[in-house]
Structure 1
């Protein structure tokens, strides 16, 4: 089955919006903003410290700025030093260059992986753990498989397993772009709850304030990459220790996908969070974070 890369909309500055209420959220979180250069791009991270803690670099999903994973990072500070990345085109990080080459316009896995490696290098992170959710899990797999940085391990949470000649990613681009349009005209937690009814109220409110910071081009290109870039090219080369956590009710990592993951990388561990969907930490924060903590403990 041949899959076409869809047309990706052109980015314009007003397609990313950060309101004063969103920026005010940064004052209420126990983390320090830090900045890193990846080539010409300025990347923002939220660093929970302490400086001498084992670093755990957290890579969020397709429409998740760094601050939206704060509720996860806060539950890991007794184990590690969580550092959450605003992936390019989200939150406070720069968008990809407007003249970026290629069909994914600077939002391919290679670009995301280069940014992750820049964060590791520029912040001097010694053998970090990579913890990625969804898109972030795919990025973590690419970095780990490349082997240019020594890692303590990787925790991949519900990575998209769609790709060429595979089933399509279950959430359509139109759904993502519709949510972005809502955010840009001004949305609220009630409207977010219509799409994500299981989430804690605080996380619905945070998404309502921060979703508009995501680039439309970044989201469209990343979604196209879910169809054109194959997770299973990289996954077999991800070294141990690695733990793949997935939602028992996830349409992204199905039972067949989990079985293929176990067979193609037998040194990795798999952990199911029963009843959770793709948004594992949001659907069941207690069980999802417990699974992440157990994975991290196994790497310390």
Structure 2
């Protein structure tokens, strides 16, 4: 840890009946919970949390079945269970008026938190969440992309084998992903991915009552104009902002664009 780092520590808390691991940054200012995507353990979001920690008391979660959070045979890896985890996590740590920022799968989890477990929640940011579901177009990334990369790292293959999976990332970013990808339980990833298609996020959106932002990747292919129109009808007053130069992994593609977008909504700029 350097003197300029906002990283404080990693810790565990028992909430919703499981061990939840998190990384804490900053320690001052309003509380902010960051919920990563389907195969992104908490350390892979450290470069984002470092900056958030300058203004916010930032908690980066390991979603169940990822990173150092609990994973056991037969565990319920549903997105509903993950949302319950977040709500219980906030209550266990006594977080009040916290902001939730969720990327991809984390955005869908965030919507469920806001709709069903909103105690203490003050704002929600959904970053390019999958809008697939029954009767809707499929999520553009295929399950093999996730499973094959996890199996390579679980087998101890060199991190360079991931280069073809993320060709635009820096060596440092690919190496970090390779270091943590083996901690992603394959059953958890498959169940989450399948739920992108078997459950419909949209049915929960009308229950969201907190100020909400939808951040859209300009080059992601996940969210289209018609999706935005539907979401705006379901969540009146939702703020929509685009990051034109970024694909789905927005902070990796355009970090400054990510923060510029976030700063249009957060109460204190970072």
TM-score, length basis structure 2? 0.92
- Partners of 2:263 and 2:12 in 1: how far apart? 27
> How much has 1:278 moved relative to structure 2?
1.1
How many Å apart are 1:298 and its aligned residue? Answer: 6.7
Q: CA deviation at 1:299?
A: 9.7
- Equivalent residue for 1:40, pick from 11, 14, 17: 17
5+ residue gaps, structure 1: 1-23, 101-105
1:203-242 paired onto structure 2 within 5 Å: 203-242=173-212
Q: Which moved more, 1:258-267 or 1:60-69?
A: 258-267
1:118 equivalent to 2:94? Answer no
Please name the residue that 2:56 is paired with. Answer: 80
Structure 1 match to 2:34? 58
Which one of 165, 171, 178 corresponds to residue 195 of structure 1? Answer: 165
> What's the counterpart of residue 163 of structure 1?
133
Deviations 1:53-88 (A, max 9, x none): 211000000000001111111111222111000000
Structure of higher RCO (CA pairs closer than 8 Å, 6+ residues apart): 1
Query: Matches of 2:268 and 2:211 in 1, distance apart?
Result: 8
Q: Aligned to 1:89, which of 65, 87, 101? A: 65
TM-fit CA distance, 1:281: 1.1
SS at match of 1:297: coil
Matching residue of 1:293: 263
Q: Quote the residue 2:73 is aligned against.
A: 98
Write out per-residue CA displacement over residues 177-206 of structure 1, whole angstroms, 9 at most, x where no aligned residue. Answer: 111111112344533232212223322110
Distance 1:39 1:236, change over 3 A: closer
Local SS of the residue matching 2:60: strand
**Structure 2 gap segments, 5+ residues each:** none
After superposition, residues 277-292 of structure 1 pair within 5 angstroms as: 277-292=247-262
CA distance in 2, matches of 1:161, 1:37: 31
Provide the C-alpha distance between the structure 2 equivalents of 1:247 and 1:137, rounded to a whole number of angstroms: 13
Greater shift in the superposed pair: 123-132 or 201-210: 201-210
Q: For 2:89 and 2:49, how far apart are their aligned partners in 1? A: 17
248 and 92 in structure 1: CA distance in 2 versus 1, 3 angstrom threshold: same
| Deviating 4+ runs (over 3 angstroms) | 187-190
Match of residue 11 from structure 1: none
Which deviates further from its counterpart, 153-162 or 239-248? Answer: 239-248
Shift of 1:295: 2.2
Q: CA RMSD in A?
A: 2.1
Q: 1:89 to 1:65 in 2, by over 3 A?
A: same
Partner secondary structure for residue 164 of structure 2: helix
Instruction: Count residues with an aligned counterpart.
Output: 267
